[in-house]
Amino acid sequence: MAFVPALIVVDLQEDFCPPNGSLAVQGGRDIVPCVNELLSMPFAIKVATKDFHPPDHVSFASNHAPPNNVPFTTVITIRNPLNHDETQESRLWPDHCVQGTKGAELLPELDVDKIHHIVEKGQDKRVEMYSAFADPFVNPTVSRSGLADVLRGSGVTDVFIVGLAADYCVKFTALDAHREGFKTWIVEDGTRAVDPAALPAVYAEYKKLGIGLVGTEDEALLK
């Protein structure tokens, strides 16, 4: 049976990492050695994603009026701009990964030379887009990255995902990869979470769907 693995490195950007990131995930920088080791392995295609927001993005607390604009705390209702009957509950964040800023840059210690394709997501100010594939609306979907077609064009069967954050962009990228029909794996030591306490529920969902958890040290990783 064909086995054509892809690697997706999610949002390994300055704003998601200590010491200066505006939305720093604890230990975010510590995954770089693991990610670089994966980048040295023979994946058929290696993709990096960047959260890449305009300054007026809907997910920024600074773009909402008080008192319902507390970063990390406030959850707002976002309406599908193309169908006002469809809504999504979404958390507000500090300004992060603004296009053209230092915070949006990939970590310099990442082996970017090994990356074949970069996805810049979250560019539509009207919708949140945690997934590397598409925004969460379905009726209709507002914005797609084209990543599914890129992967299919390379004959990919299996998608391995690392990066930040385990409970947001990694999770929604994994759920969409699974939905797009790829066998999906999370390389667990290559991720860190915003809320580590949320991970057991995320892993239970993966188990139900058949999304696998592996480690960089697993000998069977690319076999």
Catalytic site residues?
Answer: 11, 121, 169
Closest CA to 200 of 184, 188, 217: 188
Q: Is 95 in the site for Zn ion (CB under 5 A)?
A: no
- Number of chain residues interacting with Zn ion (CB under 5 A): 1
Query: Among 25, 48, 50, 51, which residue sits at the site for Zn ion (rule: CB under 5 A)?
Result: 51
Q: Which does 172 bind (CB under 5 to 8 A by kind): Zn ion, ligand VGL, none?
A: none
Q: Which does 189 bind (CB under 5 to 8 A by kind): Zn ion, ligand VGL, none?
A: none
Q: Is 11 in the site for ligand VGL (CB under 6 A)?
A: yes
CB of 68 to ligand VGL, least distance (A): 18
Q: Is 14 in the site for ligand VGL (CB under 6 A)?
A: no
**Contacts of the segment 88-93: beta carbons below 8 A, 24+ positions apart:** 88/128, 88/136, 88/137, 90/58, 90/59, 90/128, 91/59, 92/59, 92/60, 92/61, 92/64, 93/23, 93/59, 93/60, 93/61
Q: How far apart are the first and last CA of the chain?
A: 12
CB of 51 to ligand VGL, least distance (A): 5
CB of 168 to ligand VGL, least distance (A): 3
**How many CB atoms lie under 10 A from the CB of residue 108?**
8
Q: In the Cβ-directed half-sphere of 8, how many Cα atoms lie within 13 Å? A: 33
Residues 47-106 that bind ligand VGL (CB under 6 A): 51, 59, 93
CA–CA distance, 184 with 178 (Å, rounded to integer): 6
CB of 145 to Zn ion, least distance (A): 14
Residues contributing to the site for Zn ion (CB under 5 A): 51
Residues contributing to the site for ligand VGL (CB under 6 A): 11, 16, 51, 59, 93, 130, 164-165, 168-169
